[in-house]
Amino acid sequence: MNFGRQLDFLTRLLTPRRAATAAPTPPPESAAALEARAHELLHGLHCEALAARLRVRWNSRMRSTAGTALASKSLITLNPRLRDFGDEEVDRTLRHELAHLLAHFRAGRRRIAPHGPEWQRACRDLGLTDEKRCHTLPLPRRKMQSRLLYRCPVCALEVKRVRVFRSKTACLACCRRHNHGQYDDRFRFVKVPLHQ
C-alpha cells in the first residue's frame, strides 16, 4: 500500500501539468466579412461593376506592409498582424486599399499616381478624411539594399530598385507631359550602373 502511494506521487510529480488556458479570443473578422463590407461601400458609391469583381484576402506572408491593392485583379490583401491593432485599424487599412482600387476603376485606362489626387478623392468618398500615404504601425521593417538603378532616357529621373521591373515601366512625369498620362515606350526606364 505504501509502495502504491509512492508510485502515485511520483506519477503526479513527473506528469507535466497543463497550463491554465486563457480565455478564448474572439475569432478575427473573416476575409468574407471584410469583402462584404467593401462591397457595401462600393455599392454606396454606385460602383457595382468593381464590387462584383472585388476580392479581399488575408496573407500571413506579409511582414512590414499593412495591406496591398492589385488593380489588375481587383484584389485587396491584408496583413493578419493588423488584428493586433484593433478593428478600427483593420477597417482603415481596408478603406485605404479600397481607395486604390476605386481610383484606378474611375481612371479607366489612364495612368494615375498611387497616392495622387484621384486616390485622395477616393479616400474622402470612402470616409477617410486625413489619410496618409503610408501607415505608422510598428510593424517590423526589413532594410534591403537597392542594387539596381533605372533612368528615364528623356528627363534623366533615376529610380533605385531592389528588384528588376517585371513589366515595361516608363517615367510617369514624361508620360503625363508628352502622352496624356498613357504609357509611351520613349520614356521606358533604362537600367544603368549603380553609383557606389
Torsion of CA 124, 125, 126, 131, to 10 degrees: -10
Is 97 annotated as catalytic? Answer: yes
Nine cell digits for residue 172:
510617369
CB atoms within 10 A of CB 140: 7
CA distance linking residue 99 with residue 80, whole number of Å: 20
Please provide residue 150's backbone torsions phi and psi, each rounded to the nearest 5 degrees.
-120, 150
Q: Looking at 97, 118, 131, 158, which residue is catalytic?
A: 97
Query: Any idea which residues carry the catalytic annotation?
Result: 97
